[in-house]
Each structure stands twice: as structure tokens, then as C-alpha cells.
Structure 1
Amino acid sequence: MIRTLVVDDEPALLELSKTFLEKSGEISVDLADSALSALDRMKSASYDVIVSDYEMPGMDGILFLKKLRESGRKTPFILFTGKGREEIVIEALNSGATFYLQKGMDTKTQYAELISKIRIADLQFRAEKSVQDSRQQMETILSFLPDPTLAIDNSGNLILWNHAARELTGIAAADMLGKGGYIYAVPFYGKPRPLLVDLILHPDEQSLTRYTVLENSATCLMAECGVDLPDGRHRVFWGKATPLYNPDGEISGAIEIFHDITEQKRIIDEHKLARESLARKNEEILSHNKKLAATEEVLSRTLDELRQSHRLIQESEQKYRILVDTLPDALLIHDGEKIVYGNPAACAMFGVDQHSLVRIPLASLLGNGAGKTIAALSGAAAGGASPALPLEFSVKKPGGETVWLETTVSSLGNDRQARVQLFFHDITKRKLSEDHAASKHNEAERYAHALDRANKNLNLLYSITRHDILNQLTVLTGFMELSEAGITDPVLKEYFKKQKCAAQAIYRSILFTRDYQALGIHEPVWQNLQDLICCVTAQATAPGIRFTIAAEGLEVYADPLFEKTFYNLIDNSLRHGHQVSAITISARKDDSGVTLVYEDNGAGVPRDEKARIFERGYGKNTGLGLYLVQEILALTDISIKETGEPGHGARFEMQIPERSYRLTTVPARKSSAGESSPLLPP
């Protein structure tokens, strides 16, 4: 028996789930009416599978899942809920959910699928545990090999770092496993770079030049290389790398083993260095006499160069003086204690002449607050500190006017005398503009926050109400299914049939409100049309329908609900097309943009109904499908019309304007639902 815990805040749904699951004869069911109750039960009991609702008071299903995973429990987890939003599905799977199953109106089918998911989850969990035990045994053997050993997978991520590697580098396996991008080379070489284990998988002649290669084949790569370890030791290693294979004989990664040959290499290198040293000494003696002869000529040329340099320095100093005196920004030169120079712009800014400027302390000139800070930065720069970031502060000019200045402090780089230069740029206008903009921005944010809060409250109310209605509909239809099995009166059976039709109509209307509520909430995004349609046709329940898609390389800027367009068009064909066997979706470029065409080979649309099929409430089913299609497309100015011939199939043309599409160049692919081709030419 598969021991299963079912968690849901609806007592009726708990009772219904227990009834259906235990009827299979393979599953025993315990019930919990909240996530907290389930966690309490699991303190004293263990389960093979957990089935949980999403929206529950106190703790929702995903938070419940995260609590389980954080506690170390890997029990298979199936999220069984009426919520069908994509972000909930993604978050559930990312949080470790085994399966995601959405509640629907067909109670028998959904519980049959749930039973199947429970069986698969249990078998899968048991198989994975067996494989994990076997792999753990192999990893233990590799971990205790005497030589440092490491291994990577085909993606370049580290999967083995044994004890000998840890002792050599001082880095534990937990800090290295799972890392890629050659990070595992850093403990050896101080930076990411390919090792032999990488080069056996992805040969690179340039990278191999760093090694002394001893053997190089498809199945073995041996080489020698010197390594500077983190503790300062220089070691020479002989390394050997070979591929790893999976049970199917395919390469799944590679393994490398190191062996320390430092001592052998040291002896060989010492002999080589001794011979080279003797040869160099001989060459030095021979060249010494030539150098002495050339020294006098070099000294003579050096004296001439010094005279020339002195003249160039005098000319450069004169040019620099002219440049500084004409700068629009104020410049002060400070020696760490006092001002030694100020350009005319500085004299004008601070309202003093050159003679008085050099007698005023920097802190007094700028005011006690900013002046002390800049004086400290000036002293630090004079002492060799790195240039400080620009500093903004305000000062009062002699006339009483307050101005904002931006100053930068940097060293002049004079080794004989430590001096710094201070540039002051007037940013008063910019500061006033920033203050005004900040005030406007804060006001706009307050309005936006209030509006967003109101929208969230309304959406929450709609979501809770819709969720409760759908839960009760599930309970209602479930008990109707159970009740109908025991009724033989044909009149009552007909009543039950009409009741089920009414419940299904309510269900479809509620789903429409969910889709319509989400319409326009999120910003439009670029969507790959070929991938989107292939995904929709693969998921559509359309047995016997052949789909042909010709939209490769086309991306459409549309609302995130854009995929609902094709779900509704396919549903329209199946409901009203009468024996549809083929559906074609194609795109062609024209003068006004791109025309996207959806057509089937069914009965088509009568001429007198073409103008009304997009009206809300018109039609034989809910009357909402094509209305929703039109509303989704209109958000990004995409129009739609029906242009088919009655009796020859329905044909819907969607006109996409220039700003709402873009073309990419990719090879044609085949979808699982049918054929695909590139974008058709005009």
C-alpha cells in the first residue's frame, strides 16, 4: 500500500479525495485540514506521498512544501489545486514539487490522473533512492584514493573532490562541488583555467601549451605542469585525465588524478640550471669589456638629453600655467597644510584676491564642516592615498549667496614635495533641479502606491471568491458523480445531466473572469510565436487533428495572455467546426506589418454571423472565447477578423502592426503536434 497524506482546508474535498483514492485498492489515506496539522502528523508518522492543496489558511501549499524540504524530507509532493496560474506552477516545481495537478470539473478523470501521479511519484522516489545508494558507495571509494582526484560532468561542473585533494589545497569538498566555470582550478593556479579533465572533453591546443604533454588521445591525456599552492609551496604534478561513461556508453564527464613529482623534477632542474649558469658566466665576462667601452658614449648622450628635457619642462610649465589660469572651474593647490596656489576662477568663486587666498586656511575658506573634511582628504592624498570620490557640499559666498560645489581631490604626483590639487565645479542649478524632480517623484509614488493597494485588495477579493466557488463546484460535481451511479430512473438521470451542464457553464464563466481579470495587468512581452504555438498545440486535447505551423523566426510583442488566443481558437474549431481534421497557423509579411492566419477545414462561419462572433455573450457555448481573444490582441493594437468561406472552414486573420513584431533568423524545426516552417514571404 502507498501510504498517502492528503492536506486540504475543505472537509468535503478531504472526504471526496479519501473515497476516490482508497477505491483504487493500492493507496491508504490519512487526512489533514491544514499544513500545520500535516506537519504535526509527520512528527509521529511517515508517508510515501503527500498530496496538498495550494491556498489554505495559516500556510499555503508552497510554503508547506518549502518547510518539508528545509527539514530534509524528500517525500514526493503533489500540488493538487484549483489554481492554474503559470507563476504558481513554476514556483511549485522550483520549490521541489514532484507533480502539479489542477482540479477540474471531470472528477473521475482528475482523480484517475491523481492516482496515476501517486503511483509514479512513489516508484520514482524508490528508484532514485536505490541509485543514490549505489552512487554513494562509488563516491566513497573515489574519495579515499591516495592521490588527489577530481571529476566533472559534461557541463563542466565539479562532481568529485576527494580527501587527498582537500589535504593538498586546504579546501573542503563542500566548498567546491557543483561549481563550474573552471573555479576548481583556482586552488592550483590562482585563477579559473582549463585543467586536463576539461581538455579531454573539449580539446584546445592553446590551453595545452601550458602543459608538458606526454600522451594525447581521445581516451587518455597525460601531462606535467607546475603549480603554486595557496600555502606558498611550488609543486610539480603528473596528471592523467580520462573520460567517464554512462551505462549507455555515452561520455558523461571526465576524471583526473594528480601525482606529485616535485622531487624528481627538482633534481633534474638543478643539473640543468648548473650547466646554464656556467654558460652565462662565460658570456658575461666576454660582454663586460664591450660595456665598459660604451659607457663614456652613453654618459655623453645622457647629458645632452638632460639639457633637452630641462628646456621641454620649462615650456610645458608655461603651457600648464596658461591652461590653469583659463579654466572655468576653480582650482586650488594645497601642500597638506596651506594653500599655495589658486587660479582666477577660484579667486572669483571665494571672493578674495590671489595674495589673500594663499594666507587663508583651507578649513576657514570652505567653512568648518566641509572645510575640515576636504582638508583631511587633502592631507590623505598628499600622503599617497588613492583619489577620493567627488564630494558635494554647500558654501556661502561673501555676498551671502549659497552655492553647491562638487570637488575632486587628487595628488600631483611630485616625489620631492607632496602636493594635491582640488577642483571645484558649481552644481547649484543641477541640485535645484534634482530637488524639484525628487519632490515630484515622491508625490507620484504616493498616488501610485494608493492605486496599487486598491487594485491588490480588489484582486484578492476576486481571487478568494473565485477559489471558494470553484471548490464548492468541485465538491458538488464530485457528489453528483457518486450519486448518479446509483440512479436508474431515466427522468432523474436527465435532470442530473442538465445539472452537470449548468455546473460546467458556471465553471467556464468563473475561469473566464480569472483570465479577464489578468488581462492587461502585466506589461506586454516579446514572445516567440513558433515556440508558443507549438506549446499550445502540444497541450491541446485535439485527437486526430493535424497542426501545420509556418511562423518560424517571428516574435510578437503582446500581453502575457497571448497564448489564450490560440487555446480559444482551437477550442472554437473543435466545438463548432464539425469533424475538423487539420488546422494551419501561418504568417506572412505585408506592407502594413505581419498578417497571422489561423484556419481549419471545418464547417466555417455563416456569413450573417461573421460580424457578431466577437461580441460578448454571442455564440452557442459561453459566448466569451472569441470576445476574450479580441480583447487580448487589442492591448497591443493587433486586430482580428474572420475571412473564411462558409462550408470551407473558418479563417481568422490577425493584423500585427510594425511596432509589435520582430524577425529572428533561426533554422526551421518540427513540433510534436505537426509540421513547422519559416515565416512566409510577402
Structure 2
Amino acid sequence: MSNASDDGPTPPQPRPTERQDVLPDRSTAAPAAETFRFEDIFPLDDIQRIQDAFAEAADVASLITDPDGRPITRPSNFTPLCRDIIRATPKGLANCLRSDARLGRTTSGAPTIARCLSAGLLDGATCVFFGGRHIATWLVGQVVDESTDLEAVLAYGREIGADATAFRQALMRVPRMPRERFAKICQALRHFANHLSSMALRAHRQSELIGELRRAKDRVKERDRRLADIIDFLPDPTMVVDAGGTVVFWNRAMEKLTGVGAVDMLGKGDFEYGKPFYGYPTPLLVDYARGAVTRPDPRYAVAELAEDAIIAEVTVAALPAGPRHVWAKAVALRDEAGRIVGGIEAIRDVTDRHEAEKALAEHRQRLEVEVEERTRDLRLQAMELAEANIRLSELDRMKSVFLSTVSHELRTPLTSILGFAKLIGRDFNEQFLPLTGGNPALAAKGKRIADNLAVVFGEAERLTRLINDVLDLSRIESGSMHWRDTRFAPAEVLARAAKTIEGLLGQRPEVSFRFTADAAIPDLRMDPDQLIQVVSNLLQNAVKFTRAGEVRLELTHDGGMVRIAVTDTGIGIPAEELDSIFDKFHQVGRGDTIQETAKGTGLGLAICRQIVRHYGGRIWAESTPGKGSAFFVQLPAVPPGDADGS
């Protein structure tokens, strides 16, 4: 083993290479891994200290080279025989260099143990990988074991022209150890190398994630800036508060109306934004819209009222221009999950109109004019409502496109998360847990890490199911779902659906399953995969919410309708929830212990209803809490005599 590479004279023929019977442990490829070198990834000062400590603790020489044999670190614990005697001769140095290069090239992931091509001492090597690419070789050795031919070594000293006495004395100082112990040292070195490979890849991925997070934050900031510009130039005075009631937007028109600059109002909470209108902090319409107060202030004359929107008029006395009568509209702001994240309120000074209306009420002769103005206002409101409906339709379409795009974009990183969580969990259980030995504290910590990895994998699987459900529901609602309709016998398709719960039933031996079907069931014409999705969802729910007992799948027909029933002896469904269980994101019994271990997306039954309705069918549920539930699907059969079922 040496610290340089060279092309010297032809060395003696190498002895057979001895490899440990271990498979290579290469990490999964990382982006642009071929552009990184070992010294680009690891701090060499830290690696040098680790190498020095390892060499001293194991009583071996050590060195890290690049794949071509060029040294990356300084040599550690080299023996005087190799450093001061053999390498001091031209032939000995050439053979040392050739041996190091050959030893580094012959390792492919598993540790290599071989006689050096110079003095015949025992050497070992293992590779360090990054993204599946060999970036360094860690060499150890300069050891004499029980099979070393010392006389051959001494003869080699005479062959290279070394001083015989000095050579013999230096040979006596070479570390002796059994081959078995040296093999264990090489195996430990392999674990070090694998750990370095994993650390490098994780550090690279973490760096990429941090960069992406920073870019995402920059995009959010840019979006907020554009939104602020839009709100700032709205003609009506407009303010926006967040979920905690803190002012985040206060546009120029609002500054002009109230005489309060945005710099003095942004970040204010505790209803401070009511002070410019009433002289003291008080809730405004936006606080009712976002749910901060249960009812609007009695001073408001409410024109329209909804769950998270309100239109009203009121006279305010604290404005710089004196008492003014204003019209205001407030709406809650929701995120993509439907959660309220704030509110927006727009205000319009309608003092002139208000005064005119008062004058019209006092002078009856102007009644016709007032009626006409009111009629015109109603027309304008009708137009606004029509425009709002158009905007809502467009927003709904944009929502579907957004959900579809986001679902597709999330699938790629989730697939990586699932794969790497599984890979890390397997490697941790197979490679690192056995290293805990008899240390109970370390073993407990290892088990906790393994359990945490299992949680990561399970939650990623659940998120993948949620994304798939959201994407399916979005396709159905947007009309972009591909329906592959064909004519088929329903009993065969239901039998396939029943197989989807075999794994779940295997984990729940306390739950039995039975499938029955009437004879001569008429055919259905629909997408068989969609029918499997409906029935599988109902069966999985039945098994998950049944502590013990039976789940049944029954297929019957009545006239022109095919009827499917899934019944269980589970926890049941409260009567007040039977009409809402098919709504999006609705989940039954959130406080029940069964529910805590049977987490779902809340979309499965909503998708089932959309599929059944698409084919002109009906789906409903009946239940008695504590005794079980029954879900029924009714679909139109292919009419008798219809040759192709069209």
C-alpha cells in the first residue's frame, strides 16, 4: 500500500484475490452524481481524523485514493518496512504503486482482501459510492497473518536490494493478526464506506430540497407581491386580514377614505382596523365573514348574509370627511382544503345615494323615481350575480385543473419518498440494527428509528392514496375521466373485487368473509374497473370498521336492476351521518378508536357515488350503531334481447 500511483516495472504475479461473500451496497442514483468528487462532498480534515483514528484503533495502515489510485488523504500508520525500506528502493516502490492501483480496481462494493504485489503483506480495500458511482477507494493493510511466508518476504527484500538486517528488523515490527480478525476489520471498513455513501446522498438531497424550498418561498413572495399590487389599485377601499385577524393588505383607496396609511395599519390586530371608522377598536364585517364573531354588529343594515360572506350598509362617524354612509361586502378566504385563512372586505362610500333615498322617502311625489332606481340597482345586482356565477364556474374549472396538475406533480416525489423510505428501512434493519450488539439503549434507539421509518412509509402511502382519490374525483367532476365501457357478467367482476381484501383479511383473522350471488344475474354495461373500485372501497371500509364478526358481499337482481350489497357487523354509522357520508372529505366517527387506526382520505365514498351516478344507478347506506352497516349499489342491467348492450 502506497500514497501514489506509477507505472513501474512488471511486478511479481499476484496471488489469488480473496473477497468476502457480501453483495455490493450501492446507493440509488442521485441527479448529476457524475459531477461530484469525494473531496467535493466530504471535509477532508474530518475524514483524515476518522482515517487516522481507524488505523490506530485497528492497528493497520490506511489511505483513501480516487478510483485511479491517486491519494486523496495522507497515509495513516504506515509500517517502517513499507514506508522506509521497500519504497526506498526503485523496484519496491514500483511494485507498491502497482499493487495499490490493482487493489483499488478490483473492488466493486464488497471488501477485497489480497496479498500486496510487493512484499506479500495482507491488504484490503472497499469502495465509496455516490449515486451508484465509484468516487473513492479506502485501503487498509500492511499486516502479517498466520499464512504469510516470512522467508519469501525476506527473499523479496534481497530481490529488491534492501539491507538484509534492516529489512528483517522492520519485518518483525509489522503488525501480526489472524486473517479472521483482519477480515472483520475490512468488513467494518465496508460499513464505514457504505455509511459515507448514504451520508453523501442524503446531504445532496437535503441540499436540493432546501433549494427547492427557498425557490418555493420566493414564488410565494412574488405571488403575494402581485396580489398586493392588484388590491392596491382596486378603486374601492379594500382590506385583507389573515386567519388571526392581522391586517396584511390596506390599499390606497382605503388610505384615502380613512386617512390612515398602510404603514401604520399593516400588522395590526385585535380589531384595531375598526378604529378609523368608529373611533375605537371593534369588529367589522370581515370578522363575521371569517368566523371571528358569531353575528354582525346591530348597527349594520344587512342586505345579504351567507355562511362566510355578508353585504351590509352602515353609517360611520370617525372618518376624516365626517359621518359617511358606506356599503361593504366581506368574504372569507379559504385555502385549497377549504380551511378559512383570512377575509377580505371592500367598502364603497354611498352617502350621496343614501341621502337621496332618504329624500325620496320624505317626498312621496318622487316615488316613481325611487322605484326606478331600486329596479336599476336590482338589475345591476342581478348582473353582478350572473357575473359571479360565471366567475364561480371558471374558478371551479380552474380548481379541477389545479388539482389535476398538483396531483400529477406530487406523485413523482411521493414515489421517491416511498421507495427511499422502504430502502432506508431495509438497509437500517439489515445493516445497522445488528451492530447494536448487547447495548439495550442503542437497540431501543435503533428500534425507534425503524418504527419511525415505518411511519414515514405508511403516511407516504396514505398521501399517495389521497392524491389518487383527488385526481380521480377531479377527472370525474371535470368530465375528463376515460370510461372504458364493455358488457360483462357482474359475478366475475365482483369475485375479482373480493380478492382485493384478501391481504386485509389475512391481518384480521377475527373477521370472516362470504360472497353469494343469485343465479342468472343479467349483464351490466360499464367500465368493469370502475365497478371493482366501487365494490373494493365498500369492502375495505367494512373490514376496517368491523372489530370482529362477518363481512358479506351479495349480488342479486330485481327486474331490470342489478343490486350489490356489502354488509358488516361493525361499529355502525350514526343516523344523522347517513346522508353526508358520501360527501367529499367526510369521515365517520372521528373520535372512535377504530377510526384512529383506519385513517382514510374521506374521498372514497364520494368517488363511489360519482361512478354509480354516471351509470344511472343509485348508492345508499343503512346502519344501526353498534350492530353494523349495509351499503347498497343499484345499477341498470343490459335489457333482455339487447345484442351488444348499447
> Does TM, normalized by the shorter one, top 0.5?
no
Q: TM-score, normalised by structure 1?
A: 0.27
